[in-house]
């Protein structure tokens, strides 16, 4: 069993906390504070405007994109950092639809993250060409792929259930009917061995604040398969995606490669934190990490199912069919999660009844899993979730 104690030591984890919500926001890398301070004081503070060149800020989105690319099997020059995941999904989908002008269907599933669906809805409205967003159950995707489909837009790992799609198989099936694929890697990048090139994905996008641990509101990334890049005329063509942004010419001309997917001025402080977060991934063997995630998720499932018969597992049992996450269904799940947080075990809740536990071996070990399962067992056995302080729902602000 590979030991990830060396990477765990690279994170600030509060004393007494078992953190099973890295699928929502990864913890703070110890090096992040120093890295961000350097950018604040020595770069912004001292170099001022000249830091865009002298500190290399202008090149960070591409350089960080290369580093993320290595974690998702993307060839050099095919990943760019910037904006939010929703915006990157929009750009990818717009490009895909433009490449399939005769087709009107965007196929997605009910396990996709809602923002992806909203952005698709928004794009359909703006295009005004009668496109249709067709949403099927996760198990019906393969059968729903036909020659009306322009683009298949899916999250590889379901944010609620942790169910994992077979990216390569669905992409092959999409290609067989002439459709393009856009994969949302929000719950995949840094959680699983992703290989967008081997899977022949056409487009992909992801965020960096979950399993990549780059901090709240860290920028997203976009992947465009190199063979598509020359034809992509980006939606949202901002000045930093221009061929020669500093010519300030009135007409847009796309940058030669993946640079064209840039829009505006990138968030430098967030990128500094992202850089520190990516340092941790140097030398991490993704296959070993995935094997460890498989062990830890299996252990958590076993322990919880043994002691909490009221909870129903919604995550697939077959390891290849799940992400680095385990979810259980329980009507009073909200209160159970509050009771767990009260005991220092942080998971989260997704309406109406799903309790999610993200299991990131980079900083979570067997002792954490046992402690979390024991706390959950105690809460269930003693119906501690029934206390008013856990049932009261805080308004989401």
Q: How far apart are CA 373 and CA 51, in angstroms?
A: 49
With contacts defined by CB under 8 A, how many residues of the chain interact with a second copy? Answer: 95
Contacting residue, 66, 156, 184, 348, with a second copy by CB under 8 A: 348
Q: By CB under 8 A, is residue 140 in contact with a second copy?
A: no
Name residue 71's beta-bridge partners.
Answer: none
C-alpha dihedral, 282 to 164 to 329 to 133, nearest 10°: 120
Is 4 annotated in the active site?
A: no
Angle of helix 268-281 versus helix 30-37 axis, rounded to 10: 140
Of 5 and 394, CB closest to a second copy: 394
Q: By CB under 8 A, is residue 137 in contact with a second copy?
A: no
Is 349 annotated in the active site?
A: no
- Which residues from 60-89 bind a second copy, rule CB under 8 A? 83-87
Show the CA angle centred on residue 163, arms to residues 160 and 168, nearest 5°: 135
One DSSP character per residue, 335-385 reads: HHHHHHHHTTEE-EEETTTEEEEE--TTT--HHHHHHHHHHHHHHHHTTGG
Q: By CB under 8 A, is residue 53 in contact with a second copy?
A: yes
Of 160 and 171, CB closest to a second copy: 160
Which stretch in 114-122, 296-304, 305-313, 324-332 sits in contact with a second copy by CB under 8 A? 114-122
Of 266 and 361, CB closest to a second copy: 266
Least distance from C-beta 32 to a second copy, angstroms? 6
Is 322 annotated in the active site?
A: no
Q: How far apart are CA 381 and CA 310, in angstroms?
A: 10
Is 330 annotated in the active site?
A: no
Site string for a second copy, 228-267 (x = CB under 8 A): -----xxxxxxxx-x--xxxxxxxx----------xxxxx
List Cα–Cα distances, 373 to 200, 319, 366, in angstroms: 39, 19, 11
Of 102 and 246, CB closest to a second copy: 246
Least distance from C-beta 224 to a second copy, angstroms? 16
Q: How far apart are CA 117 and CA 72, in angstroms?
A: 23
Q: How far apart are CA 51 and CA 42, in angstroms?
A: 9
Q: How far apart are CA 40 and CA 46, in angstroms?
A: 9
Least distance from C-beta 74 to a second copy, angstroms? 21
Is 184 annotated in the active site?
A: yes
Residues acting as catalytic residues: 113, 184, 209-210, 356
């Amino acid at each position: 069993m590979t030991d990830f104690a060396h990477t765990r030591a690279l994170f600030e984890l509060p004393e007494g906390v078992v953190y099973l919500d890295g699928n929502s926001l990864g913890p703070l890398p110890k090096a992040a504070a120093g890295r961000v301070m350097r950018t604040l004081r020595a770069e912004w503070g001292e170099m001022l405007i000249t830091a865009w060149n002298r500190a290399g800020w202008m090149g960070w989105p591409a350089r960080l994109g290369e580093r993320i690319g290595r974690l998702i099997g993307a060839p050099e020059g095919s990943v760019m950092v910037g904006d939010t995941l929703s915006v990157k999904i929009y750009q990818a989908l717009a490009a895909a639809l433009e490449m399939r002008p005769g087709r009107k269907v965007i196929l997605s599933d009910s396990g996709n993250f809602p923002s992806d669906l909203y952005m698709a809805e928004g794009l359909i409205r703006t295009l005004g060409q009668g496109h249709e967003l067709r949403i099927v159950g996760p198990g019906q995707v393969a059968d729903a792929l036909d020659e009306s489909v322009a683009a298949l837009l899916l999250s590889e790992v379901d944010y609620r259930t942790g169910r994992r799609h077979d990216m390569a198989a669905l992409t092959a099936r999409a290609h067989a009917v002439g459709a393009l694929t856009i994969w949302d890697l929000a719950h995949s990048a840094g959680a699983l061995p992703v290989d967008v090139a081997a899977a022949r994905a056409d487009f992909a996008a992801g965020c960096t604040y979950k399993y990549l641990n780059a901090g709240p509101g860290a920028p997203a990334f976009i992947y465009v398969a190199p063979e598509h890049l020359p034809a992509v005329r980006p939606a949202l063509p901002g000045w930093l995606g221009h061929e020669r942004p500093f010519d300030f010419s009135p007409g847009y001309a796309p940058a030669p490669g993946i640079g064209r997917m840039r829009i505006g001025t990138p968030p430098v402080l967030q990128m500094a934190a992202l850089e520190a977060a990516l340092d941790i991934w140097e030398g991490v063997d993704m296959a070993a990490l995935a094997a460890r995630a498989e062990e830890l998720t299996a252990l958590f499932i076993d322990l919880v199912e043994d002691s909490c018969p009221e909870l129903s597992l919604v995550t697939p049992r077959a390891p290849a069919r799940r992400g680095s996450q385990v979810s259980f269904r329980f009507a009073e799940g909200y209160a159970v999660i509050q009771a767990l947080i009260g005991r220092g075990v942080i998971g989260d809740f997704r309406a109406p009844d799903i309790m999610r536990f993200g299991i990131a071996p980079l900083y979570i070990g067997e002792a954490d899993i046992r402690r979390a399962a024991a706390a959950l067992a105690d809460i269930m056995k003693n119906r501690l979730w029934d206390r008013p302080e856990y049932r009261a729902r805080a308004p989401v602000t």
